[in-house]
Amino acid sequence: MLCQKEVNQLEKFATEIRLETLKEIKNLGFGHIGGAMSIVETLAVLYGKVMKINPKDPKWEDRDWLVVSKGHAGPAVYATLALKGYFPIEELMTLNKPKTNLPSHCDRNKTIGIDMTTGSLGQGMSTAIGIALGNRLDRRDSYTYLILGDGECDEGQVWEGALFAHHRKLSHLITFIDNNKKQLDGYTKDINDLGNIAEKFSSFGWHIQNANGSDVAKIYETIEKAKEEKGKPSVIILDTIKGQGLKFVEDTMFNHHMKFSAEDHKAADKCIIELENKLKEY
């Protein structure tokens, strides 16, 4: 259980990630802002408290791995990596521009600190399973963390992987479902209703937990409980909001990818000031 000081530190880190992510997308004028913002707190907990990492040695063999299968959330991952010192924070302003190392979707061949190239939805489940299994065969105690979108769970590959991961008893695979209730072109319940995601994963033999995706303490708690589970993979279903933490994005219906209007730029400027003032309070 985290003490209040640790909670404050993680909340501050999440605020920094949200601020830098907003800055890089605003600078570009468009981007996948909705699904990037909904995983900010999870990234803050993973990189701020949980994962074994070494920014000075990004390919350290005994590190923990992160596969962000919903690779369009790359801007939030880039902000996190920059804040942890993997590369200069100034590089965030090159997001998705010519010759950038920060493409729209995560690419391990371009960005220092990215463990797996992602964006073809569903495939991150398979690659994360391969990483987890490979590390176990190499007798490493590393954890593999996987972030899936709720809309992404429409993909059959996710459920093939869920079956295989349970069969192989991959207890060092911890998966998050970013349950922000939307996908590219609408609400998940209207496009392909997933019903009870927890019950579905449970029927595949996974250890199940739910968490408020904006609560860093709860996210940390569920990760620690997942690590106590032996003999099966774990899934944490995060209750989130697409565009989380930015009201002008939350209030936009189609916010998977936004092209900023003049009004959006004004709203973003206001949010930047609010986030900067919030940081001064810590």
CA dist 241 and 182 (Å) reads 9
Q: What is the pLDDT of residue 106?
A: 98
195 backbone φψ class: left, alpha, beta (φ>0; ψ -120 to 50): left
Q: How confident is the model at residue 116 (pLDDT cuts 50, 70, 90)?
A: very high
List of E strands, the chain: 30-31, 65-68, 144-149, 173-179, 182-183, 186-187, 207-212, 234-239, 258-259
Tens digit of each residue's pLDDT (9 = 90 or more) over 122-135 = 999 999 999 999 99
Q: How confident is the model at residue 255 (pLDDT cuts 50, 70, 90)?
A: very high
pTM above 0.95, yes or no: yes
Q: How confident is the model at residue 253 (pLDDT cuts 50, 70, 90)?
A: very high
Ordered DSSP codes for 27-62 = HHTEE-HHHHHTTHHHHHHIIIII----TTSTT-TT
* 7 has pLDDT over 90: yes
Q: What is the pLDDT of residue 224?
A: 98
Tens digit of each residue's pLDDT (9 = 90 or more) over 13-46 = 999 999 999 999 999 999 999 999 999 999 999 9
* 208 has pLDDT over 90: yes
Q: What is the mean pLDDT of residues 34-60?
A: 98
Q: What is the mean pLDDT of residues 159-185?
A: 97
* 1 has pLDDT over 90: no
Q: What is the mean pLDDT of residues 171-199?
A: 96
Q: What is the mean pLDDT of residues 67-82?
A: 98
- Give the CATH number of domain 4-280: 3.40.50.970
* 83 has pLDDT over 90: yes
How far lies 196's CA from each of 125, 174, 214, in Å? 19, 19, 20
Phi–psi pair at 87, nearest 5 degrees: -155, 160
* 63 has pLDDT over 90: yes
Largest interatomic CA distance in the chain: 54
* 84 has pLDDT over 90: yes
Tens digit of each residue's pLDDT (9 = 90 or more) over 221-242 = 999 999 999 999 999 999 999 9
58 CB contacts (<8 Å, ≥6 apart)? 86, 112, 113
For the stretch 188-194, contacts whose Cβ atoms lie closer than 8 Å and that sit 24 or more positions apart, written own/partner, are 188/150, 188/151, 188/154, 191/151, 191/154, 192/151, 192/154, 194/150, 194/153, 194/154
Q: How confident is the model at residue 217 (pLDDT cuts 50, 70, 90)?
A: very high
